[in-house]
Every structure is written in C-alpha cells, then in structure tokens.
Amino acid sequence: MNLVLFGPPGVGKGTQGEKLSTETGIQHLAMGDILRAAVREGTDAGKQAKVFMDGGRLVPDAVVIAMIEDVIIAGGETGFLLDGFPRNVAQAEALAEMLSRHDLNIDRIVFMDAPEENLLKRLCGRLICRACGFGFHRQYSPPRKAGCCDRCGGELYQREDDREEVIAQRLVIYSEQTKPLLAYYQDKPGFYKLDASGEMQSVYAALKQVVVN
C-alpha cells in the first residue's frame, strides 16, 4: 500500500503518519524529517535546504525530488506513506513520472484539513525530541518530565520554524503552493478528504478506515 498524505502545516500528518507506520509497517517517509537529517549531517542538499526551511519557504523542487526518489527506491515491500511530499503541483507531476518509471502506484491520496485556529494552536505548542524525533505538545500531549522525551530521555526543543512569525509564512506558502494540489488530486482514484480537526485518536480511526477500505 502506497499513500500520499497532504494538508496544511500542523494538521497532524507527521503524528498520524508515524502511528500508522508503527501499526502497519508501512514506511513513513516524512520529507521534513529527511531534510532536517540532511541539515544535521551537513550534506550538500542539507546546506542548500537550511536557509529555505528556517524562513518557512519551500526548498527548491530539484533538491527534494532527488532526495525522495532515493528513499522511495531504497524502500522495501511494505509500501510507503509520503508525508510532506509533494508540496506543489510540479512535485506531484515529478512524483507521478518517477513512480511510473519504477513501476509503482499510489493507492490512496489523503487530504487532511483543519481550521487555521487549530493549526496555530498545534504548531505553537509543538516540541520535538532532538535525539529520536518523537513529537510532543505542551498542552495536548505533554512529556511526563518537562523538557525530556518519554521514549528515549532526549532533550525536547521547539523547531526554529515553529516560531510564530515563521508559522505565518508557512501558512501563506501552503495556501499559494500546496493547496492547489487539491485540484490536482481530487478526481484521481483513491482520493479521500479527512476532517482532521478532532482529537488525535478519532482522526487516526478515520485514517485507518481509509487505508483498510
């Protein structure tokens, strides 16, 4: 099963994708995580990406397309869940072309959406573990011990691009560049729209339905 999850920043793609991956074994390919790892490792792609990411802008298409192709073709038999890629129509077209070259299909395309008010609350309170990348939220899913990851004890931090001014920029970029993906995908087979404004567990239950149906 190969899936694409898309939607605005803060809608819960990462949280839901991670949970689905843990339960089903489908490989979670989160473009933002792949880019952050490249920045940490100081690769050429990471160096190119950093300035765009810190400013809440999209990394150039050529950089992300090359990176995602590498991980897709390295993937196993269990299928993949793309989270945060594609983020514009040019990337969606490149994805379709790349998958057809490797004889692969997309089985489900899930558009997750929630009102901007929810997105802002989720993004502003988000905390990430520096060591394992696991996500927490100051209000909705706080760690047992402040500043410390429940899973591995690593240090929790706020992402540079989860500051208020960068969030505003990311939401603008979303409306201008990523939202047009809705028109691109909505008539394709396997397209679903998911209301992601509710609690994490109920959104997950709805996502799971989409995947098993």
| Residue 87: active-site member | yes
Output the residue with the shortest Cβ distance to ligand AMP.
Answer: 32
The type of residue at 69 is: E
The residues pairing with 3 across neighbouring beta strands, listed in sequence order, are 81, 108
Residue 8: phi and psi, rounded to 5, are -70, 160
The answer for residues whose C-beta is within 8 angstroms of residue 172's C-beta and 6 or more apart is none
| Residue 145: active-site member | no
31 makes contact with ligand AMP (CB under 6 A): yes
CA 178 from centre of chain: 12
Contact present, 45 and 153 (Cβ < 8 Å)? no
165 to 204, contacts with ligand AMP by CB under 6 A?
170
Of the candidate spans 21-29, 71-79, 84-92, 134-142, the one that interacts with ligand AMP by CB under 6 A turns out to be 84-92
Helix (H) or strand (E) holding 109: strand 108-113
| Residue 13: active-site member | yes
64 makes contact with ligand AMP (CB under 6 A): yes
For ligand AMP, which residue of 4, 38, 46, 85 counts as binding (CB under 6 A)?
Answer: 85
Q: Could you tell me which of 30, 36, 27, 38 has the C-alpha nearest to residue 6?
A: 30
First to last CA, the chain: 11
Of the candidate spans 81-89, 110-118, 142-150, 187-195, the one that interacts with ligand AMP by CB under 6 A turns out to be 81-89
Catalytic residue among 159, 163, 193, 208: 159
32 makes contact with ligand AMP (CB under 6 A): yes
The type of residue at 169 is: Q
Of the candidate spans 57-65, 105-113, 149-157, 194-202, the one that interacts with ligand AMP by CB under 6 A turns out to be 57-65
The contact set with ligand AMP (CB under 6 A) reads 9, 31-32, 35, 52-53, 56-59, 64, 84-87, 91, 161, 170
Which residues are tagged catalytic? 13, 87, 126, 159, 170
